[in-house]
Structures are given as C-alpha cells and as structure tokens.
C-alpha cells in the first residue's frame, strides 16, 4: 500500500536554508529535517535541535572503563592470586595508570560510536525518502528539506505554499511503499 512520507524540496544556498529552517519552525512544524551533504554551521540553532545527550553517555562509559581497569588489576593481582614480583606491592596506583587510561579511552570510544548511531536510529537500511530523486541529491550537491506527513501542521497545500515561499525548488509530495 502506498503511503505519504511527506513533502520535500531543494535548496542550493546555505543562507536560504538557515532562514527557511527558522521559518518552518516558527510556523509550528516539529517533524521536519534538512538532508545535507555536509553539516551546515548554524542549522541546529535555526531548526531548534536540542543538544544531544551523547557526551553524558561517553562520560559514563569512560568512568566505567576506569573502574573496570582498576578493579581488574587489583582483584587479579591482590585478591585472586597474590604473587610478589620483584618485592613490589600487590597493588599500587602508579603502575595501574596506563591500563586504566587505555580502558577509559576504549570504553568511551565504543560508547560514543555505538551511542551516536543508536540515538540516530541507525543502522536502518530503509528510508521513506530513499526513492525520491531529491534524496540522492542530498548526498551530492543540494540541501533537501523534508516535512513529515505525521506532523500535526502538515497540510498538502499550506505546506507546499510555505516551502515555495521560502525559496524551495521542485516542492513535491513523496510516497513510499509500506510493507
């Protein structure tokens, strides 16, 4: 069954994108996005994108990495199998720092990458917009606006008028096959 994904249009000028983003937001839309070949500076503010929680995930994982590394070195060396090597203490902080640091970085990096893709809902190998030609342009040379049909303000005529008034080219409705 064919379903409406929403409305899409093309921009070529980065300044027009920023202005349009602010206007669409002012008109009350929330389920809209710009697909761009590279990140545009200032678009987050214009669209009103909320700051991501990702840094907190990274921090938490980093702290966990430190804790795991210190616990591992203390438990294996001083609890499970105490073995005096060269008259050194069974556990001491200075020689435990290198591995604690490395595991902090490792845990933090994994959480950052996995967290970023997970928060973005990726991997997801299907997009409602993927069969539209605009979508292919968005990884090449154009900035593509998409307004989701699920937005309460979405209205075929009004949304089209709004996008065209903001300078969007080739504004059209996109449909997709719902499995």
Contacts to other proteins by CB under 8 A? 14-15, 17-18, 33-44, 47, 49, 52, 54-55, 58, 62, 72-73, 76-77, 80-81, 83, 85-86, 88, 95-96, 98-99, 101-103, 105-106, 108-110, 112-113, 115-117, 119-120, 122-127, 129-130, 135-136, 138-141, 146
Question: How many Cβ atoms are within 10 Å of 93's Cβ, its own excluded?
Answer: 11
d(CA 168, CA 166): 6
Least separation in angstroms between residue 157's CB and other proteins is 25
Q: Nearer to other proteins by C-beta: 73 or 159?
A: 73
Least separation in angstroms between residue 36's CB and other proteins is 6
Q: Are 29 and 147 in contact (CB under 8 A)?
A: yes
């Amino acid at each position: 069954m064919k379903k409406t994904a929403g409305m899409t249009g093309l921009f070529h000028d980065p300044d027009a994108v920023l202005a349009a983003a602010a206007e669409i937001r002012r008109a009350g839309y929330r389920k809209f996005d710009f697909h761009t070949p590279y990140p545009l500076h200032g678009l987050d503010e214009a669209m009103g994108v909320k700051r991501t929680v990702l840094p907190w995930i990274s921090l938490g994982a980093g702290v966990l990495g430190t804790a795991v590394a210190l616990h591992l070195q203390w438990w294996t060396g001083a609890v499970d199998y105490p073995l005096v090597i060269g008259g050194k203490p069974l556990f001491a902080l200075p020689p435990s720092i290198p591995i604690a640091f490395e595991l902090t970085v490792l845990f933090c990096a994994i959480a950052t990458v996995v967290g970023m893709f997970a928060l973005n809902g990726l991997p997801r190998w299907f997009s409602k917009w993927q069969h539209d030609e605009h979508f292919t342009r968005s990884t090449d040379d154009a900035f593509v606006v998409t307004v989701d049909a699920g937005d309460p303000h979405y209205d075929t005529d009004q949304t089209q008028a709004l996008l065209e008034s903001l300078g969007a080219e080739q504004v059209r409705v996109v449909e997709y096959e719902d499995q």
